[in-house]
Each structure stands twice: as C-alpha cells, then as structure tokens.
Amino acid sequence: PLVNTKEMFKHAYEGKYAIGAFNVNNMEIIQGIVAAAQKEKSALILQVSAGARKYASPIYLRKLVEAAIEETDLPIALHLDHGDSFEICKQCIDDGFSSVMIDGSALPFEENIALAKKVAEYAHERNVTVEAELGKLAGIEDDVNVSAEDAKFTDPDQAVEFVERSGVDSLAIAIGTSHGAYKFAGEPRLDFARLEKISALLPNYPLVLHGASSVIPKYLEMCNQYGAAIPGAKGVPEDMLREAAKWGVCKINVDTDLRMAMTAAIRKVLVEQPAEFDPRKYLGPGRDAIEEIVQNKIKNVFGCSGS
Ligand code: G3H
Ligand code: 13P
Ligand code: NA
Ligand code: ZN
C-alpha cells in the first residue's frame, strides 16, 4: 500500500535502522529497487526529484510507482525529493504523493522555517508527511577550520527550534555528506559528534541523511573498465551509514549508486556485445545491477529487512 513515512520512521527509530530512499527516473530503476525490497520484505521510499519529473513527466512516474504498489504488498512512500517551493509541494500532494521534502536550506533561518511550516500545514491536513532541511550539504575538507564547518553544518540548537516551530515530520541534516560521486577529497569523515548532539536534543525524532551513496568500488571499477572516466570518485563508507542509523537517522537517500550500477552494467553489455542493439539486452542487466545493490543496502547496510 501507499503510505506516508510516519509508521516506517517510528519503527526505524525504535529498531535503530534506516529506511532506504531511492531516486527513481524510469521503469527499470523502479523495478530494480522494488524487486530488491520485495526479496527483503522491506518498507521503501521511492523519491522523485524535479529533474525526474521533467525527464519522465510527472504522470509516468506516478503511474509506474502505482504499478509497484499494486504489484507488491510492501509499505511504499512516494516522496518528492528537494521540493524548492510551496507550489511544487502542493502539486505533488494534490497528485497523490504521500510525502514531500521542502528544501529551504538555502534560505535564511526564519524564511526556511516559515516555508516549511506552510508546507507542513497544507500536507498534514491531507495525511502527507513533510521533510525539511537545515544546514548546507558539503564535504568535510581537511584544510577547513572548525568555524567554517560550523557555518555549513546543522546547528543542534537551531535544529530543535526549527522542528518545534515548523512542525515538519523529519529533518535532513548536514554533517559532512554531499550529493554526487565526489564526496571527499581526502579520507571520508562525518561529524558524528554533531549527529549525536542533534539526536540527543531531538529524542524520538527521525533525521535524514542526503548525499549518502557509498560509491561502490565494484561498480566504479566496472564503469572505468568499460570506458568510463570517473576518476577519484568517493562515497560514504557503509559502516558510517550503519553507525548513523543508530543515532536517529531513519531515512538514507541514494541516487548516485543507482546511476553508477546501472551505467556499469549497460557499459559492459555494449562493450562486450557490440552487435547487440535491443535496449532490453542492456536495460535488463542495468535493472539487475540496481536490484543487487539495493538488496545489499537494505540487508547489510540500512538494516531494514523485514520492516
Ligand atoms: O539530490 C539530488 C538527486 O540525486 C536527484 O538528482 O536532480 O539530477 O534528479 P537530479
Ligand atoms: P547521492 O548523490 O549520494 O546518491 O545522494 C542522493 C540524494 O541525497 C537525493 O536527495
Ligand atoms: Na528527500
Ligand atoms: Zn538530496
């Protein structure tokens, strides 16, 4: 069934695990993710960005997710990722999304609160859950001093005030993760002291980690082996995600790892079978690669099997 994130986060918080939130852009991506969740009997968040809506058109994505919901008995949330205005959140809510993110993280604190509150009021009347973001997603750079980190990363006291005044259901925080395939110039490091502080100040409250792909070596190497040029890509180590899930992180966002796995599998087919031009012959392996990495995350990293 289509569900909002309320119950899944409650259970994730209590069980000290996280629900995977995977970005979807087409049928094969959705099918790969859902097949993995089905095998692991896991709750699932399928999230759609503005770019995804532009690429596939909103109605196709919605109908594809509806198909997944009809085909399985898993609790699935359909979530707007990085909504940047009240209007896009409203449109998704009116279209049947069960959860939305209002990303006002680039706004001044007061404006971010006011926007999040407006979305939360509209959403809650319709049984839709809301995620907001406080802090700026950026990697930890070794040469940057503590006060610079302090300016970007989520301030624990502000997080409490933000949650109380906005009324949102979950909060994305900045502790050193970033979007894309190049997260760390040096050794991967997250500000766990900050996470623990935020988590202690917000008991029973679900936190969200964006930019949490691991850049799986197997698929990075496979991409590069078959002609890609993605040098120096680096993600968040899996043990850090396991650790974060123990400190109130109930939703972990993944897009880059899906892109890389699918691309690796497609590249392999195209290089090894140059006579092949049936899209099913490469999109199929692309879908299988997504299923494999999603199953591994659910089972071995996020710990949400059986949820
Ligand atoms: O946070 C960004 C997600 O990876 C979505 O990316 O805007 O290219 O669809 P996108
Ligand atoms: P990655 O780029 O690490 O996969 O992060 C995705 C994300 O945060 C989507 O909102
Ligand atoms: Na999101
Ligand atoms: Zn994100």
103-114: per-residue pLDDT in tens? 999 999 999 999
CATH architecture of 6-216+234-255+290-302: Alpha-Beta Barrel (3.20)
Q: What is the pTM of this model?
A: 0.97
Which residues are registered as beta bridge partners of 47? 23, 79
Atom of ligand 2 nearest to the CA of 212: 3
- Is there a contact between 28 and 279 (Cβ–Cβ < 8 Å)? no
Percent of residues in the chain assigned helix, strand, coil, to nearest 5: 50, 15, 35
Binding pocket residue ranges, ligand 1, CB within 6 Å: 23, 49, 51-52, 81-82, 179, 255
Q: Could you tell me which of 258, 244, 245 has the C-alpha nearest to residue 307?
A: 245
CA dihedral for 268, 272, 277, 282, sign (positive or negative): negative
C-alpha distances out from residue 234 to 31, 138, 249, 265, Å:
27, 14, 21, 19
Mean pLDDT along residues 222-231:
95
Which pLDDT band holds residue 151 (cuts at 50, 70, 90)? confident
Q: 139 or 261: whose pLDDT is higher?
A: 261
> What residue spans define the domains of the chain?
6-216+234-255+290-302
Quote the pLDDT of residue 179. Answer: 95
Confidence check: pLDDT of 145 > 70: no
Q: How far is the C-alpha of 297 from the C-alpha of 226, rounded, in Å?
A: 24
pLDDT tens digits, residue range 233-275? 999 999 999 999 999 999 999 999 999 999 999 999 999 999 9
Which range, of 145-159, 222-236, 249-263, averages the lowest pLDDT? 145-159
Question: Cβ of 163: how many Cβ atoms within 10 Å?
Answer: 22
Q: Hey, which of 179, 208, 209, 263 would you mutate to test ligand 1's pocket, going by the most ligand atoms within 8 Å of its Cβ?
A: 179
Q: Distance between alpha carbon 13 and the CA centroid of its chain, in Å?
A: 17
Write the DSSP assignment of 104-167 as a string of letters. -TTS-HHHHHHHHHHHHHHHHTTT-EEEEEES---PPPTTS-HHHHHHHSPPHHHHHHHHHHH-
C-alpha distances out from residue 222 to 31, 58, 171, 294, Å:
22, 32, 35, 17
Confidence check: pLDDT of 101 > 90: yes
List the binding residues for Zn(2+): 82, 103, 133, 179, 210
Which pLDDT band holds residue 150 (cuts at 50, 70, 90)? confident
User: Residue 5: how many CA atoms within 13 Å on its side-chain side?
Assistant: 33
Per-residue tokens: 281:
């012959």
